[in-house]
Amino acid sequence: MTSDILNATRDYVRRELMQERPGLVLTDETNLLTEHIIDSLGIFMLVTFLEEKFGIVVDADEVLVENFETMTAVAALVESKLEANSTARSA
């Protein structure tokens, strides 16, 4: 599942947030903040995408720099939200 999350999120970031950085190589460990790929508005755009795409809710207290620094961090956040939803449904 993590690879599906990474692929969908990477595609979104390239399409919507990297329009002015076409030559930049985006890896799973590229720092989205220091490379100026994402800013505060971009984080909220990404949160909206993640919520719609994966059917999760990202709480305000989860909108932290460390959850949006890299593609790996974003995927880990989504995976944890999906696991929490799955656990809640089976309880």
- CA 47, CA 64: separation in Å to the nearest integer? 11
- For 50-71, the pLDDT digits (tens) are 999 999 999 999 999 999 999 9
Q: Please report, for the chain, the start and end positions of each structural domain, with discontinuous segments joined by +.
A: 2-90
- CA 53, CA 36: separation in Å to the nearest integer? 24
- CA 37, CA 14: separation in Å to the nearest integer? 9
3-state secondary structure 41-63: HHHHHHHHHHHHHHCCCCCHHHC
Structure tokens belonging to residue 76: 């880990």
One of 3.20.20.70, 1.10.1200.10, 3.40.30.10, 1.10.10.10 is the CATH number of 2-90, namely: 1.10.1200.10
- For 7-45, the pLDDT digits (tens) are 999 999 999 999 888 789 999 999 999 999 999 999 999
